[in-house]
Structure 1
Amino acid sequence: MPPRNGIGVTGFVLGLVGLVFSPIPFVGVIAWPLVILGLIFSIIGLVRVKNGKASNKGLSITGIALSALGLVVCVVWIFVFNAAVNEVNNELNRTAKVSYEITGDATNVEVIYGEVLNPVTETVPALPWHKEVENKGVYKGGTLTVSTGETGGSVSCKITVDGAVVSTKTASGEFATAACTGV
């Protein structure tokens, strides 16, 4: 009876296809069973060659190598994906210290500050004015708007996030507005 080479060839094909799919994000999930089965079939094919039941030693060894390489790529993707998920999770849960500051010589100014969807409005009789808040989540900064009204004067706004100045603006005159946005 002539040697039968089907198992070694199957291992080679599964290993090759698995290796091709393994570096592709999300699609590479189908590579896991392919490279594992490719490794198993290629090893069985190599054992069959050693027992004289098959004659495709080179193809079986190549199948083992391709399957092993595909498996390594799949494992590397697990670490890369986990690192990315952890980085996003850490950023979402990080708390930022936000400082809002207004200086100038204007009086009775209207101040609007805070997160874009949740602003706070105050009338401030005299400057300087300062507020500190902590923001948690995606939005780490805020907005700060100051208007001089009809009494006029000059105003400057500044937003600092975690000790770094992210926005400054200055305005002067009647009904002047300085608007800072910091992320």
Structure 2
Amino acid sequence: MTRATRTAICSVAVTGLALGLSSCSEAVDQVDKAVNETYVVTYEVTGKNVDSIGFHDGGGKAMDPKVETVTNPKLPWTKTVTLRGIMPAAVMPVAADIEGAEVECRITYKGKVLEEQSAGGLATAGGCIAESPIAG
């Protein structure tokens, strides 16, 4: 291999590396921006004999959100919260009733339903978890 060929190959490799690092830097900038951006969602829970409702309230870290809990909520229950970045919106009702528990949950963002679930039975736990609209 001639010196000119080696120089050309090295030049192409260095250019590719520089472009790759530039793209990586742009991705990091986008993640940083998304983590600091906020969005507002409304949680709604209806049903019968709901014992408690856990929900992400915007506290904590994006991948380890703080869960707030309401016990013996009055139904229908709604709560509007501000979340950050890639933090998922989540509402988790828990119900138990020997005659049959019923729960329905919904998460809305700007009037659009992000997630909706319903369940029933002797004991019901679960809920709705929606991806951050900022991440998608």
Map 1:26-175 → 2, pairs under 5 A = 28-29=17-18, 78=22, 80-104=23-47, 106-107=48-49, 109-114=51-56, 117-139=65-87, 141-150=88-97, 152-175=100-123
SS at match of 2:106: strand
Aligned equivalents of 1:108, 1:21: Cα separation in 2? 61
In the superposition, the TM-score normalised over structure 2's length comes to: 0.68
Letter in 2 for 1:113: F
Partner of 1:33: none
Q: CA deviation at 1:135?
A: 1.1
Larger radius of gyration: 1
Q: CA deviation at 1:77?
A: 6.3
Q: Percent identity?
A: 24
2:9 & 2:97 partners in 1: Cα distance?
76
Tell me, in whole angstroms, the C-alpha distance in 1 between the residues paired with 2:112 and 2:27.
25
**Can you give the 5+ residue segments of structure 2 that lack an aligned partner in the other structure?**
58-63, 132-136
Tell me, in whole angstroms, the C-alpha distance in 2 between the residues paired with 1:125 and 1:84.
42
| 82 and 162 in structure 1: CA distance in 2 versus 1, 3 angstrom threshold | farther
What is the DSSP-based 3-state SS (H/G/I as helix, E as strand, rest coil) of the residue aligned with 1:83?
A: helix
CA change 1:176–1:19 in 2 (3 A) is closer
- 3-state SS, counterpart of residue 75 of structure 2: coil
Which of the two has greater strand per residue? 2
Q: TM-score, normalised by structure 1?
A: 0.53
Higher relative contact order (Cα pairs below 8 Å, separated by 6+ residues) = 2
Residue identity in the other structure for 2:89 = G
Structure with the higher fraction of residues in helix conformation: 1
SS of the residue corresponding to residue 126 of structure 1 reads coil
